[in-house]
Amino acid sequence: MNHDQSQSDLGTVAGLCRVAQLSNALAKQLTGSARALAYRIKAEACSLLILSGSASLNGVWPGGIVALDLSGNPASRLHIRRSHLSRQARRALDGQTASVPAVSRLGDSFRIARRTN
């Protein structure tokens, strides 16, 4: 790989990370079909990052949510419904699932503790 190709690849990863982050922020401000479209854009960017090895699984949340570490500069983390990712990206994450923590919400932990006391 030559220097120009390497710079281009880095720009692509950085661009996809930025698209994922911005579409996530935008989706939180929108409603209806516009919100759904922004989340679809985020899912596509995240799927491509997973398949390129530029995003890795960090944790599994209740409700089918996964935490992804994005290797952009700066590195960042996004949460996304696993079902929103492409089939190929979900398959790629399957190999990482055993090595990451299953996460629970803090409020859920308190409710469980109250029931047992």
Cβ atoms of residues 21 and 43 within 8 Å: no
**Whether the predicted pLDDT of 4 surpasses 50:** no
**Whether the predicted pLDDT of 91 surpasses 80:** yes
Q: What is the mean pLDDT of residues 29-43?
A: 98
**Whether the predicted pLDDT of 6 surpasses 50:** no
Hey, where are the domains in the chain? 3-116
Cα-based distances in Å from 36 to 32, 62, 117? 6, 21, 42
Q: What is the mean pLDDT of residues 42-68?
A: 94
* pLDDT at residue 1, rounded to an integer: 42
What phi-psi label fits residue 65: left (phi over 0), alpha (psi between -120 and 50 degrees) or beta?
A: beta
Strands 65-70 and 55-61: antiparallel
The amino acid sitting at 88 is Q
Letter string b/e over residues 45-73, b meaning 16 or more CB atoms within 10 A of that residue's CB = bbbbbbeeebbbbbebbeeeebbbbbbbe
